[in-house]
Structure 1
Amino acid sequence: MHVRRIVVPLTVSVVVGTGLAAPAYAAELRVGVEIPQLNVAEYHRPYVAVWIEGADQKVAANLAVWYQQRSNSEGHGTKWLPDLRQWWRRSGRTLKLPVDGVSGPTRPVGTHTIAVSDRDPRLAGLAAGDYTLVVEAAREVGGRELLKVPFTWAPKPKAQNGSAKGGSELGTITLAIKP
């Protein structure tokens, strides 16, 4: 019987000094957005904006903006983004759309998850403090709804859960922070 030996080279890196290594922890912020089934004659998928605002009510991070993406005579759906009134006034009108990693197409009925690591550029600059997750939805031939879930962001985030229940355009919004 012939035994074949495979030698795999091993590379060892040594970091000398302090402060050069990244922290061993990583946190994740997970948002669940439920778009409910509506029993209406003319249904259109809602435009949805998800963002984090600070205690001063200024936008600290845009997490998602879902709107009509395909080409049409209405400017890729951006024409209707001002219907997301709070988001538009606080952040949307200053953005150059689409925003990489934030913009996306409208979503069908169901629960959709947004998972963002603390190393993601959207959260990388988020300082420790009290914040509010805000989810706003607006639908053509429909209504508009805004839900808020407060949370605390710390240098070493602690596990947290929160939720808010919509009444028309949004279902349940969930927030989970996992260290």
Structure 2
Amino acid sequence: MKGIYFSYWLLGLMVALPSWAKTIPASASMGVELELPQVQASIYARPYVAVWIEDKQRQPVRTMQLWVGDDEWLKDLRSWWRKVGRDNRSVVDAVTSATRPVGQHRFTWDGLDQQGKRVEQGDYTFYVEVVREHGGRNYIRQKITLGEESFDLQIAPTEETGNIALHYQLN
């Protein structure tokens, strides 16, 4: 009989534990500034870009931006494709937009996961993958902690990206 009560207690604990996790504040958001530099090349093509965030278990949380010309080029964003794209057509359909020209691009992540739920406070990794046909490839990772404190981060330029800035704010 003790075994049955213990099983119920353990099951109740497993159900209750996730509810103890504290989400980021409702007012929290993260602004992203992503620069695409002018690259000197004999044949210049706009880059394909994927921007996403993963939790500390390296599980995808949200694809923020996906800039590709055609679906056939999705596989060129190798890391994003293996992690998210090949198994989740609904994400591809929801976030895909046209490639962007040279210049500064801004967008805001609302702090929600792919299912529309506010994410938990804790450690995450911000990713940017940039691939250019007849050009280079860059894969950028930046550890971040989302919680009750604002932060600003600058990520150094690479061959295919200019400056990248993250602005986590509690409005």
Q: Supply the distance in 2 between the matched residues of 1:55 and 1:42 (Cα, whole angstroms).
A: 39
Q: Supply the distance in 2 between the matched residues of 1:135 and 1:123 (Cα, whole angstroms).
A: 21
Which of 1 and 2 has greater Rg? 1
Give the superposition deviation at 1:116. Answer: 2.3
| 3-state SS of 2:74 partner | helix
| 3-state SS of 2:93 partner | coil
| 3-state SS of 1:113 partner | strand
Residue identity opposite 2:96 in structure 1: S
Residue identity opposite 1:38 in structure 2: V
Does 2:167 align with 1:173?
no
Paired position in structure 1 for 2:137:
144
Give the superposition deviation at 1:125. Answer: 3.7
Paired position in structure 2 for 1:36:
37
Give the superposed CA RMSD: 2.1
* Distance change (3 Å), C-alpha of 1:177 and 1:59: same
* Distance change (3 Å), C-alpha of 1:29 and 1:123: farther
Give the superposition deviation at 1:162. Answer: 1.2
Gapped regions of structure 2 (runs ≥ 5) = 1-24
Paired position in structure 2 for 1:4:
none
Residue identity opposite 2:155 in structure 1: A
* Distance change (3 Å), C-alpha of 1:142 and 1:122: farther
Give the superposition deviation at 1:136. Answer: 0.4
| 3-state SS of 1:178 partner | strand
Residue identity opposite 2:156 in structure 1: K
1:117, 1:123 within 8 Å by CA — same for their partners in 2?
A: no
Give the superposition deviation at 1:128. Answer: 1.4
Identify which of 139, 142, 149 aligns with 1:158: 149
Number of matched residues? 146
Paired position in structure 1 for 2:76:
83
Paired position in structure 2 for 1:16:
none
Q: TM-score of the superposition, structure 2-length normalised?
A: 0.77
Gapped regions of structure 1 (runs ≥ 5) = 1-23, 69-76
1:166, 1:172 within 8 Å by CA — same for their partners in 2?
A: yes
* Cα deviation 1:23-46 (Å, max 9, x = unaligned): x95111111111010111100000
